[in-house]
Structure 1
């Protein structure tokens, strides 16, 4: 017997409306693709990626700041984004030899690549030096290896020195004050073996002021390094540009109303572990806020300090460049009833929604695509994956659906391109990885193709 909604309204979190994508999703294409692939799939929207890159560039231009945007490749493995970077001159941030090779193979020039990550392998450093990539040095021993490698190759190594954030002293990344002083001396002694182009950092969280504060410190470090004869004309503030998934009122209401009774098996979450699905300052607007903030709360805004010092601002957004650039589609495979709600099983796994594997939940409401059922009452249902694991839940929450889902219906998880699609995907039970389908619009027509990078 079907279960229906209780009299009280359950907590919900609808994603921001997207009329253009909704028109596609409510057409025949999703059902045709589900039939063709026989399983879940991801939709990619490269035009949205281009728009997000353009928004960051516009923010830099408005502030009169010389800057460069690097796409953080780890946010999504699809080739579509790298293809767009190669065409429009966007830089790419990589952290492994495999990522670097793929980026170069899709046409991104080495000079437009920044190589980050700790304790980089000699093979990664060798290719990075030969291709003229910018390398963020994380430790003194890495700096020594890089200088020796550059000497042996007779090629200068382009590098940034990564700063340990004073506000996050337990981070395992970056150089503290003493290490930074030693690194500057070694760069000066290395002479033509290195081009010490500046400094970098990465902060956890999304707060604006700490980024402006540390950026101001790095501007001062650039001036100090120039006295030592080093180039030092750019700084990287890393990523940490939030994405605004939902309206403020919906997010506040959700946090206030949700509780263990709203989740399958009484599952409970610490709200502090939820991603902030509403952010009043997100994407390129967060960059604007950083540029107008005053480092340490006084003096000139960061944008003015960058211009006066002749320092270029680099950034490495990932999620923010993928905002509204993709979604994930599953097909309902089975429905069973429990006390007051239903359990849906879909034809994929929660390994394709990474948030579920970080003691959290991907909260934007999945959208049910179904034929009209005028006699069907609304139903609450959680969503499980097609594996034998109790923990394989795409959505622990008992989501309010407008009609009872049936086998063959589709569930669309919105805005999943940033970190959700493939960070943890695995062919568990020999289930195939969801293919990525690229949607392009030309002459008023929507056309699709498979992403050129096969799932792995």
Structure 2
């Protein structure tokens, strides 16, 4: 089969070069796997996870900041990422009992887990305390549940962070306001050795650097005040929010400028503000370095210096940024219809495997076309991509993609860089279709990529 790129002269969003994905595409392995599974599947490139984690740790070290990275497990269910985090001594951010058990089962130490999410029940809190996980307390009633229901009798102390309501996002459903924080701190002091109040955290939407730097400095001040009350308060968590860049700046800006509903099947309308920012000048670890170099409002120092002077350990919970280039999703073309000036491709599987569609948005990076006939006649063929279901709205790509040739039944569409939040956030066995399997690719020391199925327990 031949891999072809999207044709010029049509609205396009090509992904940045990725040698590891290109090697898998060129290997001939994907058609064999498509035949073996008889349906869509995802392939995972765990070496990318390792590289992204290393880059983040390097950014912390170069800034002289003591830090710890937790992988936000909600970004991808594949077990291999928890395995890689465990092997590297990193942590995992979990929000349910199932995620917590998965992380433990794949080797992550209990003290390297952070439990987030709102309104955690007593059973989940108890499990976290038993394994020494760090718990982000989101509300006063949750703190009350922890102390009154979980910490009765002899038990190891509960390690907690208090989540702060961001002043710049006062309508967020996450975190406590100033009055609630004061009550929570008094509660922690009264609880004595039953609670280890290790610091504060926040959940901040968006990807802007300055608001994160400002809020991190504010949490540092809160830690200093909490220490006066006799609390440990030596850590702050800034959550995730490190962006990923999928395409180059010129392609992204050209796409936004030329955005038109005529480029979408059935005149589907999207607001450009609802799209993920598919290009950013400083992604991943570079965004972390920029954050540490930013000067919080009203401060004469960079954030890194503020943290070091206060003796604060910075905790991070990235998901997408650790999964950049760590996997792709593969669908087989089942048929093609010609419409008025464009085509409608139907593939096996559903848009549940590209989760952006279910947030009234579109996963914009161009898919690769892997043709079963390398001699197929070339020629621009714009087409949208629909799923093999009975729903008008079940579209993988509403956008009319300018394919370099008319796809044919049996060809593959490979959606790149889908490991972060795309490939399994919303998957379900709709129409009794099987959940697409995940294939872990190993290219180390072998002329051709080897593969195995991911070892996810549930």
TM-score computed with the length of structure 2 as normaliser = 0.96
Q: Is the 8 A contact 2:116 2:135 kept in 1?
A: yes
Q: Is the 8 A contact 2:48 2:324 kept in 1?
A: yes
**CA distance, structure 2, for counterparts of residue 328 and residue 153 of structure 1:** 49
**CA distance, structure 2, for counterparts of residue 99 and residue 395 of structure 1:** 30
State the secondary structure of the residue aligned to 2:129. Answer: helix
**CA deviation digits over 1:67-103, x for unaligned, max 9?**
0000000000010101111111110000011111111
Report the equivalent of 2:116. Answer: 116
State the secondary structure of the residue aligned to 2:300. Answer: coil
How far has the Cα of 1:153 moved from its partner?
4.4
Report the equivalent of 1:356. Answer: 357
State the secondary structure of the residue aligned to 1:384. Answer: strand
**CA distance, structure 2, for counterparts of residue 375 and residue 133 of structure 1:** 58
Q: Is the 8 A contact 1:241 1:320 kept in 2?
A: yes
**Superposition map of 1:405-416 within 5 A:** 405-416=407-418
**CA deviation digits over 1:281-313, x for unaligned, max 9?**
210111111111111153211100111111100
1:452 alignment partner, one of 441, 446, 455 = 455
State the secondary structure of the residue aligned to 1:151. Answer: coil
Deviates more, 1:14-23 or 1:327-336: 14-23
How far has the Cα of 1:258 moved from its partner?
2.1
Q: Is the 8 A contact 2:293 2:302 kept in 1?
A: yes
Structure 1 residue ranges, 4+ long, deviating more than 4 angstroms after superposition:
none
**CA distance, structure 1, for counterparts of residue 310 and residue 296 of structure 2:** 14
**CA distance, structure 2, for counterparts of residue 291 and residue 26 of structure 1:** 39
**Superposition map of 1:66-105 within 5 A:** 66-105=66-105
How far has the Cα of 1:374 moved from its partner?
5.2
1:375 alignment partner, one of 352, 374, 377 = 377
**CA distance, structure 2, for counterparts of residue 51 and residue 84 of structure 1:** 11
- Is 1:439 aligned to residue 450 of structure 2? no
**Superposition map of 1:55-454 within 5 A:** 55-148=55-148, 149-370=150-371, 371-373=373-375, 375-445=377-447, 446-453=449-456
How far has the Cα of 1:19 moved from its partner?
2.8
How far has the Cα of 1:220 moved from its partner?
0.5
Q: Is the 8 A contact 1:373 1:403 kept in 2?
A: no
State the secondary structure of the residue aligned to 1:383. Answer: strand
**CA distance, structure 1, for counterparts of residue 51 and residue 40 of structure 2:** 27
Q: Is the 8 A contact 2:8 2:402 kept in 1?
A: no
How far has the Cα of 1:257 moved from its partner?
1.0
CA-based RMSD: 1.2
How far has the Cα of 1:372 moved from its partner?
1.9
- In structure 1, runs of 5+ residues without a counterpart are 1-6
Q: Is the 8 A contact 1:60 1:67 kept in 2?
A: yes
**CA distance, structure 1, for counterparts of residue 260 and residue 122 of structure 2:** 50
Report the equivalent of 1:4. Answer: none
TM-score computed with the length of structure 1 as normaliser = 0.97
**CA distance, structure 2, for counterparts of residue 163 and residue 297 of structure 1:** 20
- In structure 2, runs of 5+ residues without a counterpart are 1-6
Q: Is the 8 A contact 2:331 2:347 kept in 1?
A: yes
- Is 1:30 aligned to residue 33 of structure 2? no
**CA distance, structure 2, for counterparts of residue 338 and residue 153 of structure 1:** 70
State the secondary structure of the residue aligned to 1:52. Answer: helix
Q: Is the 8 A contact 1:151 1:193 kept in 2?
A: no
**CA distance, structure 2, for counterparts of residue 154 and residue 92 of structure 1:** 23
State the secondary structure of the residue aligned to 1:329. Answer: strand
**CA distance, structure 2, for counterparts of residue 368 and residue 447 of structure 1:** 22
How far has the Cα of 1:441 moved from its partner?
2.0
How far has the Cα of 1:8 moved from its partner?
9.5
How far has the Cα of 1:442 moved from its partner?
2.4
**CA distance, structure 1, for counterparts of residue 154 and residue 100 of structure 2:** 19
State the secondary structure of the residue aligned to 2:434. Answer: coil
Q: Is the 8 A contact 1:114 1:133 kept in 2?
A: yes
Q: Is the 8 A contact 1:381 1:401 kept in 2?
A: yes
Q: Is the 8 A contact 1:332 1:411 kept in 2?
A: yes
Deviates more, 1:297-306 or 1:232-241: 297-306
> For residues 100 and 380 of structure 1, do their structure 2 counterparts lie closer, same or farther at Cα, with a shift above 3 Å needed?
same
